[in-house]
Amino acid sequence: AAVVQQQVRERLGIRERLRENDVQALQLLSKSLVAELRYEIFQPHLLSHALFRLWNSIDYHTVKRLCASTIDQSFLVMNEELFIASSTTGRAYYLIEGTLEYAKKLLDVPDQGSSHVEPGC
């Protein structure tokens, strides 16, 4: 019960980040302008990775479409799980800010260690 109370206190103290869907004015923009805006928002992060820099130099329009239709942001709070043990995901994640602890925990197996992930990974 103490762990539950601690997590509730932590999360109540966190300000929610503004999401694209929360900005009604964006709904009024043309699809092409929204695509350009999303490219400008996401390209600094994408282009920090060599593969996306190469892709962008070869075919800017495809990377722009990727930003417009495929990329989404997730905001996690402290101790929130991104992955659940024994589950799969059809997504790739790229850490922009903060740190992430990746801990492999299987049932009935003692501590199996963990790895820290830094932004840009």
Digit-by-digit pLDDT tens for the chain (121 residues) are 778 777 776 766 666 667 778 788 888 999 999 999 999 999 998 899 899 999 999 999 999 999 889 888 888 877 788 877 777 888 888 888 888 787 776 666 666 666 666 676 5
Question: Quick one: tokens of 34?
Answer: 């929204």
Distance CA 35, CA 120 (A): 23
Domain spans of the chain, in order of start: 30-72, 73-121
**In the prediction, which pLDDT does 2 show?**
76
Q: Rounded to whole angstroms, how far apart are CA atoms 77 and 95? A: 13
pLDDT of residue 96: 83
**Residue 101 near residue 114 (C-beta atoms within 8 A):** yes
Burial degree of 35 (CB within 10 A; 0-12, 13-18, 19+): middle
